[in-house]
Structure 1
């Protein structure tokens, strides 16, 4: 189900939309922006809805007050979880996994802009984004073992090793220790470090929004899909996907612009 991004007004986070870029801001700065049952659910529904919200070309995900997200709220999530039966617990873990699934399924590139604390489910939100920009002081921790849980949470055991390698992911998921910004950059978790995180993330998102949006959506889809198949199958998948991109008007616009020695103006069709 699509929605009007210009008038969208979520309850549990801030939403801003301009020039094709939607900015989602987790907004509980007094608690370092923890998630609640309600914010998990609203974020999940929002990202699912982006699949048909064509006016949104790229998304920036950030947090208010100098921190990204401290994970699940200790009092509003962790406490209640200790009192749930097995069915309730499984319903919750499936919902949190659905948020990652929705982020990976939406066609828009997601740029995480991370400052300060990025922990637990907050680290997962950064991980599930397509591109990640961090402040040099950002501290990231997949701290599930510190509360007696496994590192196998919200796809971490599948996605994190793909980004930083098995050994590094195993260390972070077993120990729950902080990954410094310099480590994260050296390991490929952060695409770049910046002293102007949000501005740089929005500039990057704006560049993506001005690009060939159908082609970006195909790139995002194939980046995920091709992890699961042999190279021979991936080559066939890419041949079919690229042939479809060659039928877009943006592809023809690009050729005409280059032939005229002009910069192409993409329109997402």
Structure 2
């Protein structure tokens, strides 16, 4: 049996910037004059890219950021919000399911995904940051789940399921009911941001973390990500059994053997990702 392997290092993105350096893929949302909003096309292309990352074993970590001084302002008012008011129910459901598919693709790709958040991080932009595996922010980051501000439910793209797990039920409820922006300091204190850095250090620090992860055991990282996703719906007993199986699988990898040999030789292990 053969499986298709993709090389996305030369992929030419149409609706955002994409590059690969030292096994790290960089997605840059790139409409800075409008604070990097999402469009129907960029939603779909992001979904397809993250789906395809499953088949590229050379890319081992992902950094998502925004051009200029902002991360993402959410769905574009004119390109998305306006047209949505004129759609039929089946068309609306097709769209909302597509946005959910982007969340599934980010959570489902084996690479660790890091969002580098500066300035405005709102609506769907806040969702992309939320569903990333880790988030690094700047002191001027403002994260808003502002769906109620446009007459929609505070929940969107998994927010009611995921955000309370990151920052707690009460804090998530406040942000989703009011639509107010969470400050950077609140985000770090509540556990949304893994760390805050100066604006000029955002991409360098995100790159440093991504490259550190990229040199680690890719198979084990992907297993960790998979278990973090799956164990939400498991009992403790189920989780213990699932983790026992996951570790037994990892113990059969070359990376596990290489780590033991490197430890015995008092040198740093070189992981191959299998």
Please name the residue that 1:162 is paired with: 165
Residue deviations 1:91-126 (CA, integer Å, cap 9, x gap): 000000000000000010000000000000000000
Give the RMSD, CA atoms, in angstroms. Answer: 0.7
Cα deviation for residue 5 of structure 1 reads 2.1
Please name the residue that 2:210 is paired with: 205
For residues 83 and 53 of structure 1, the distance between their equivalents in structure 2, rounded to whole angstroms, comes to 39
SS in 1 for 2:87: coil
Please name the residue that 1:225 is paired with: 230
For residues 44 and 223 of structure 2, the distance between their equivalents in structure 1, rounded to whole angstroms, comes to 26
Unaligned runs of 5+ in 2: none
For residues 5 and 155 of structure 2, the distance between their equivalents in structure 1, rounded to whole angstroms, comes to 32
Please name the residue that 2:36 is paired with: 33
Please name the residue that 2:260 is paired with: 255
Equivalence map 1:57-206=2 (5 Å): 57-195=60-198, 196-206=201-211
For residues 160 and 25 of structure 2, the distance between their equivalents in structure 1, rounded to whole angstroms, comes to 29
For residues 225 and 115 of structure 1, the distance between their equivalents in structure 2, rounded to whole angstroms, comes to 30
Unaligned runs of 5+ in 1: none
TM-score, normalization by structure 1: 0.99
Instruction: Give 1:237's match in structure 2, choosing from 242, 260, 265.
Output: 242
Size of the aligned set, in residue pairs, is 269
Residue deviations 1:141-200 (CA, integer Å, cap 9, x gap): 000000000011000000000100100000000000010000000000000001111111
Instruction: Give 1:48's match in structure 2, choosing from 51, 60, 72.
Output: 51
For residues 146 and 138 of structure 2, the distance between their equivalents in structure 1, rounded to whole angstroms, comes to 20
User: Conserved in 2, the CA contact under 8 Å of 1:2 and 1:50?
Assistant: no
User: Conserved in 2, the CA contact under 8 Å of 1:185 and 1:192?
Assistant: yes
Superposition misfits of 4+ residues, deviation over 3 angstroms: none
Cα deviation for residue 2 of structure 1 reads 4.8
SS in 2 for 1:256: helix
TM-score, normalization by structure 2: 0.97
SS in 2 for 1:6: helix
Cα deviation for residue 267 of structure 1 reads 1.2
Please name the residue that 1:6 is paired with: 9
For residues 6 and 234 of structure 1, the distance between their equivalents in structure 2, rounded to whole angstroms, comes to 36
